[in-house]
Chain A
Amino acid sequence: GAVVSQHPSRVICKSGTSVKIECRSLDFQATTMFWYRQFPKQSLMLMATSNEGSKATYEQGVEKDKFLINHASLTLSTLTVTSAHPEDSSFYICSAPKRDSPVYEQYFGPGTRLTVT
C-alpha cells in the first residue's frame, strides 16, 4: 500500500498565531510532496512543491514567507502557516508520489481542516 498521514486532522487557532501541519508517507519514501488548499466546493489548488533537502517551489500568488515548508526527510514534510488570519481557514491536503513513480500516481493525505478565529 501507499499511505500518507497528516497531523492534526483539525485545528482551530486564533488570528495571529502560527500553525504547523505535518505530512508523512508511512510506507514509502517521497522525495517530493505537494501541498494543496481546498476551499468549500472548489478545486484543489496547488500551493507548493516540497523537495527533500532543498527549498520548496511555490505557485504564483502563494506567499512563501507565510506558508513555510520544510521537507527534512524522505517521509516528512511540514507546512507552517505563520501569522494566520481568518482568510487562511481552509482544508489543507498533502500528497506524494512514490519515489521514482510518475507524478500522477500521487497518494493523498486525509487533509487538515484549519479554522482561524
Chain B
Amino acid sequence: QKEVEQDPGPLSVPEGAIVSLNCTYSNSAFQYFMWYRQYSRKGPELLMYTYSSGNKEDGRFTAQVDKSSKYISLFIRDSQPSDSATYLCAMSENDMRFGAGTRLTVKP
C-alpha cells in the first residue's frame, strides 16, 4: 500500500464548476498537509498547507484535513481555465511524501 494515494484522473470540468480533489494516506504520523499545483513541464508551486485537522480557505481554494479518516481534500470554487494543471497532495512528518497528482482540465 502506498503511503499516499491520489486518483491521477484525468478530471475534466466546465468553467465555473466546483472541483473536488482528494487524497488518502496511511501514516498517522503526518502532521502537515500540502497541496501543490504543477503546470506542464514546470516545478510544483505550493498552493496551501494545513497543520493537523481542519479547514483552511484562501480565495477560491479550500483545503480540508480529516485525520480520523486519513483523508484530505482540496476544493476549487468557480473553476477557471487557468486552474488547468496537475494538483499534488503532499504530507509531512519529517520528510515529504507526494501523491501521484490529479490532472485537471477546466474547459471554457
Contact = CB atoms under 8 A, between A and B. Distances in A.
Nearest to B6: A43
A59 to B, nearest CB: 9
Nearest to A94: B43
B95 A46 contact: yes
Contacts of B8: 41
A41 B100 contact: yes
Interface in A92-117: 93, 95, 102-111, 113
A12 to B, nearest CB: 15
A104 B34 contact: yes
Contacts of B90: 104
Residue of A41, A46, A102 with most partner-chain B CB within 10 A: A41
Nearest to A5: B43
Interface residues of A, number: 23
Contacts of A69: none
Nearest to B39: A110
Contacts, number: 55
A11 interface: no
Interface residues of B, number: 25
B69 interface: no
Contacts of B92: 103-104
Interface string B73-108: 000000000000000101010111111110100000
A44 interface: yes
A43 B96 contact: no
B60 interface: no
Contact of B4 (A6, A43, A106): A43
Given A4-B43, A111-B42, A113-B41, A104 B96 contact: yes
Interface of A: 4, 6, 34, 41-46, 49, 93, 95, 102-111, 113
Given A41-B100, A43-B6, A46-B96, 14 more contacts: A6-B43, A41-B101, A46-B97, A95-B43, A103-B94, A104-B49, A105-B49, A106-B96, A107-B46, A108-B45, A110-B41, A110-B43, A111-B41, A111-B43
